[in-house]
């Protein structure tokens, strides 16, 4: 482990040390050109090209280290921030577009419980004790359940999906990504507590004002890489008389770039388009009279 004085003057950036967010975080760091070499079994690594120290922590602990400790930035899940009750102490700077899943209430598919009202007052097992308790307390109050009649929330750290089959619960609250684990356990979702994804967070109260330029740099680089992974550039030529219809199809992330070209009455347009929509956008452009429609891949950008 590095000595504390080794970290002096460096921005501390917390990264999940394992789990569903780890590999994507490494891709983000590479895209932001934050270079480092993590030695085997060490959870702190110094960047070789920026004044940054990477700290590898459990994702569930990162909001607390950022909100209460000396860590300046961190990547974790939106759900983890709420579960750790750190939403007042950390700020979500960027939604990162990966790690998307839903925290859902699940019950046996062939069981007697068909709705969330049927589950109220029964046993619920979860590893999201705070969020589940808040959700069911509101439901219990709505249904007028009090005392021993209220929903019983029990915490388990893992294998939540087995709780119903093993007789520990009537329903569970757990994260669902693809739904394969849920279906394999014979469960189905009857309600969604919240939707979540990975976020870049900082402390609501900055701890190291002298590191603000580095914080802004990291935010800008990551935002640019995320935008480049979600957008592509579409360029085309269009008669000026049809420009209005074309820009409705390609409004851009903020606005399209429009330039005059040789040829009376024609303009060239360049616009950022979501990658998932690019084929449909090109078809629509041709329909309104665009020509020479080109798609240019983005490797990185600043937005």
CB-based contacts of 146: which residues, under 8 Å, 6+ apart? 140
For 133, 138, 192, the CA distances from 141, given in Å and listed in that order, are 12, 5, 18
Q: What is the pTM of this model?
A: 0.86
Residue 216 lies in a domain: no
| Same-domain pairing of 88 and 19 | yes
What is the per-residue pLDDT across 52-80, written as a single tens digit (0 to 9) for each?
999 999 999 999 999 999 999 999 999 99
State which residues form the domain around 8. Answer: 4-100+198-207
User: Helices 212-230 and 22-31, interaxial angle, to 10°?
Assistant: 100
| Same-domain pairing of 76 and 203 | yes
Per the structure block, which two tokens stand in for 239? 């008669």
| Same-domain pairing of 130 and 71 | no
| Same-domain pairing of 91 and 107 | no
Q: Tell me what pLDDT residue 21 has.
A: 87
| Same-domain pairing of 64 and 118 | no
Residue 117 lies in a domain: yes
Q: Can you list the residues of the chain whose pLDDT is less than 50?
A: 3
Q: Tell me what pLDDT residue 39 has.
A: 78
Residue 168 lies in a domain: yes
| Same-domain pairing of 59 and 171 | no
Look at the chain and report how many structural domains it folds into: 3
| Same-domain pairing of 76 and 202 | yes
| Same-domain pairing of 85 and 203 | yes
Q: Tell me what pLDDT residue 94 has.
A: 95
Q: Tell me what pLDDT residue 38 has.
A: 81
Instruction: Please report, for the domain that includes residue 286, its CATH number.
Output: 3.30.70.120
| Same-domain pairing of 16 and 136 | no
| Same-domain pairing of 235 and 272 | yes
């Amino acid at each position: 482990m590095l000595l504390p004085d080794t970290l002096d003057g460096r921005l501390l950036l917390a990264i999940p040390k394992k789990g569903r967010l780890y590999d994507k975080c490494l891709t983000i760091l590479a895209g932001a050109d934050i270079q480092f070499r993590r030695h085997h079994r060490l959870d702190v690594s110094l960047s070789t090209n920026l004044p940054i120290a990477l700290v590898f922590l459990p994702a569930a602990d990162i909001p607390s280290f950022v909100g209460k400790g000396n860590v300046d930035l961190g990547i974790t899940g939106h759900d983890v921030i709420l579960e750790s009750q750190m939403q007042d102490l950390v700020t979500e700077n960027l939604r990162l577009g990966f790690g998307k899943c839903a925290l859902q209430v699940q019950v046996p598919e062939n069981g007697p419980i068909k709705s969330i009202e049927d589950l109220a007052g029964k046993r619920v097992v979860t590893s999201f004790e705070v969020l589940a308790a808040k959700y069911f307390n509101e439901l219990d109050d709505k249904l007028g359940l009090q005392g021993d009649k209220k929903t019983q929330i029990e915490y388990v750290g893992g294998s939540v999906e087995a709780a119903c089959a093993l007789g520990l619960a009537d329903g569970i609250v757990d994260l669902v990504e693809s739904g394969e684990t849920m279906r394999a356990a014979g469960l189905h979702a009857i309600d969604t507590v919240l939707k979540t994804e990975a976020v870049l967070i900082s402390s609501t109260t900055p701890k190291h004002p002298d590191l603000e330029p580095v914080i802004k740099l990291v935010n800008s680089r990551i935002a640019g890489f995320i935008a480049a992974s979600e957008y592509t550039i579409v360029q085309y030529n269009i008669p000026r008389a049809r420009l209005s219809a074309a820009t409705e199809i390609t409004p851009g992330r903020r606005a399209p770039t429009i330039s005059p070209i040789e040829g009376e009455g024609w303009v060239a347009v360049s616009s950022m388009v979501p990658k998932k929509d690019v084929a449909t956008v090109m078809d629509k452009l041709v329909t309104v009279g665009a020509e020479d429609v080109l798609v240019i891949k983005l490797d990185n950008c600043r937005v």
